């Protein structure tokens, strides 16, 4: 009861802010809202009295500004909704996609207190030349520059135990004070609103708004523990170890804790500074193609991708190497989802719309009761206008956006992991095109996609997978046998109990029968596993 009242009070504040920005248009689409909600919508503009007119702005721009004012949780919500063109429309989704995660910095005293509490040492003993002015401030954390003194061995002939001090440049990320409680409060509100939407807008149910909030909650919880972000950076670094064209900062684990993360400082030019990149003599076409290559390797090869690949999180070093930062938002895709994405995109781009439709049904994304022929027709309606353009103008991200827009007709449930991938793909594609307008996304992507499909979907891959499945089953055989033996022993004991313990001969016969049954079962299971392997090769 108290929680519901708190949600209601918070909602009034949110509604007031949305009204001031004339961003309450989402309420106009509620089909079964109760009378008092409709009356409230009628009188809500009263909240906007005295607010400047925003009629010159698009709906999405007004909504983005309102969410920016509402704070960190709503900025994250806006970014999550930016992939929902099927729910908000392409224009509003695009405006929310431009919502940048920037907030005023918090004080150096608060940052210092957090660092010292988390690392359990005075800041002066941890860092040298700590800059009290942050270089970046976002909704969850801000970043400071400093240096670290490393004492390393430097033996000489005269002094084998000699050491020397080396200065190392680092960047320190510090969580905002009280950010956990703020997000917890607003996430409760988001869950409450998603429940109301499901009740009063039945068509929203297939959009799985509650699951979207759950994904947001999971993402935010990961961002609240900087040790997990550090681990993500380290994993990406391992995945690209030895890659001459891509790298990530090195984590200083001795100066990293739940609310503080220290990493090597990136020396390079942000991709947002295109003119500086050109003046420095960097090859823009090569960098553009590298952005696409790195993205595809993360998605297809590794199944673990940086889900916030905008200009501000990508840098170019002096040697032309692409460097990524900020691993708070990451995406994972299992092998089955990667196979689906690769085959679906390939089918679209070669014009095989039947196969594009079939993979949706095979993955279970479209209910089997729906017509395969009708869905094939819908896929053609998306693919033909895109494939009718020069190949250099084909937008993979736009293809996915339009595909998700037709899902309502076919009751295709929202797949949160695919929405995150779509958002990242649109962002990466936009970054690549900003560096080189003539970049051919498909031409760059095709060799990577084709090689991955050949390796993972060709005859050799299928045979290897079949054998692996069969061997996995055979590895489980001892446990199956053991469980079967225990079951037969229990049945034997129950038989003795029911028919009398004095029937020893019968019991021995039952035991012998049980052993024969067990041996037969083992042979049958082994034969089935081997037959499965042979028939599928």
Residues forming the active site: 308
Is 95 within 8 Å of 61 (Cβ atoms)? yes
Helix axes 90-97, 416-435, angle to 10 degrees: 70
Q: How far apart are CA 410 and CA 169, in angstroms?
A: 54
Is 369 within 8 Å of 399 (Cβ atoms)? no
Q: How far apart are CA 367 and CA 208, in angstroms?
A: 15
Buried b or exposed e, range 354-384, using 16+ CB within 10 angstroms: ebbbbbbeebebbeeebeeeebbebbbebbe
Q: How far apart are CA 274 and CA 284, in angstroms?
A: 9
Q: Which residues pair with 305 in a beta bridge?
A: 331
Q: How far apart are CA 115 and CA 227, in angstroms?
A: 14
Q: How many Å from the N-terminal Cα to the C-terminal Cα in the chain?
A: 61
Q: How far is CA 509 from CA 257, 364, 482, 499, 523, in A?
A: 66, 50, 21, 14, 21
Query: Tokens at residue 189, please?
Result: 């509100």
Q: Which residues pair with 144 in a beta bridge?
A: 172
The DSSP H or E segment spanning 397 is helix 396-405
Q: How far apart are CA 103 and CA 140, in angstroms?
A: 9
DSSP class of residue 298? I
Three-state DSSP at 164 gives strand
Enumerate helices (H) and strands (E) in the chain, giving the number of each: 22, 10
């Amino acid at each position: 009861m108290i929680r519901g009242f708190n949600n209601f009070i918070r909602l009034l504040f949110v509604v007031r802010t949305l009204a001031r920005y004339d961003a309450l248009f989402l309420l106009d689409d509620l089909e079964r809202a109760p009378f008092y909600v409709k009356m409230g919508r009628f009188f809500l503009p009263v909240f906007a009295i005295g607010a400047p007119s925003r009629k010159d702005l698009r709906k999405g721009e007004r909504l983005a500004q309102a969410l920016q004012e509402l704070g960190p949780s709503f900025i994250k919500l806006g970014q999550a909704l930016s992939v929902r063109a099927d729910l908000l429309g392409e224009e509003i989704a695009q405006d929310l996609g431009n919502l940048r995660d920037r907030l005023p910095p918090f004080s150096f005293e608060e940052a210092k207190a957090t660092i010292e509490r988390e690392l359990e040492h005075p800041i002066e003993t941890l860092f040298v030349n700590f800059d009290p002015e942050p270089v970046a401030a976002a909704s969850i954390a801000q970043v400071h520059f400093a240096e670290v003194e490393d004492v390393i061995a430097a033996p000489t002939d005269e002094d084998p135990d000699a050491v020397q001090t080396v200065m190392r440049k680092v960047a320190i990320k510090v969580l905002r004070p009280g950010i956990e409680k703020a997000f917890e409060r607003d996430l409760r509100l988001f869950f409450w609103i998603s429940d109301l939407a499901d009740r009063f807008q039945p068509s929203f149910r297939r959009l799985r708004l509650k699951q979207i909030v759950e994904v947001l909650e999971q993402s935010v919880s990961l961002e609240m523990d900087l040790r997990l972000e550090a681990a993500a950076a380290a994993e990406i670094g391992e995945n690209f170890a030895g890659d001459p064209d891509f790298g990530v900062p090195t984590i200083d684990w001795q100066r990293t804790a739940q609310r503080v993360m220290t990493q090597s400082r990136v020396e390079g030019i942000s991709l947002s500074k295109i003119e500086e990149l050109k003046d420095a003599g960097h090859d823009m076409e090569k960098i553009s193609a590298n952005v696409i290559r790195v993205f595809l390797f993360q998605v297809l090869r590794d199944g673990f991708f940086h889900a916030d690949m905008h200009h501000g999180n990508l840098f170019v070093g002096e040697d032309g190497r692409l460097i990524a930062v900020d691993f708070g938002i990451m995406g994972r895709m299992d092998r089955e989802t990667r196979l689906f994405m690769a085959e679906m995109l390939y089918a679209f781009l070669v014009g095989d719309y039947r196969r594009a439709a079939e993979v949706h049904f095979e993955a279970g994304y479209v209910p089997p009761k729906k017509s395969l022929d009708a869905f094939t027709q819908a896929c053609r309606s998306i693919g033909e206008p895109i494939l009718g353009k020069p190949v250099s103008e084909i937008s993979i991200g736009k293809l996915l956006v339009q595909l998700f827009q037709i899902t309502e007709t076919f009751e295709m449930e929202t797949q949160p992991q695919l929405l995150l991938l779509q958002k990242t793909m649109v962002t990466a594609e936009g970054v690549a095109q900003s560096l080189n307008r003539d970049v051919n996304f498909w031409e760059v992507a095709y060799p990577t996609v084709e090689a991955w499909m050949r390796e993972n979907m060709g005859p050799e891959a299928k045979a290897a997978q079949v054998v692996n499945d069969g061997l996995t089953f055979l590895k489980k055989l001892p446990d199956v046998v053991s469980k079967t033996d225990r079951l037969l022993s229990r049945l034997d004991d129950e038989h003795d109990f029911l028919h009398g313990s004095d029937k020893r001969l019968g019991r021995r016969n039952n035991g012998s029968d049980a052993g024969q049954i067990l041996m037969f079962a083992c042979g049958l299971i082994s034969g089935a596993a081997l037959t499965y392997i042979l028939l599928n090769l």
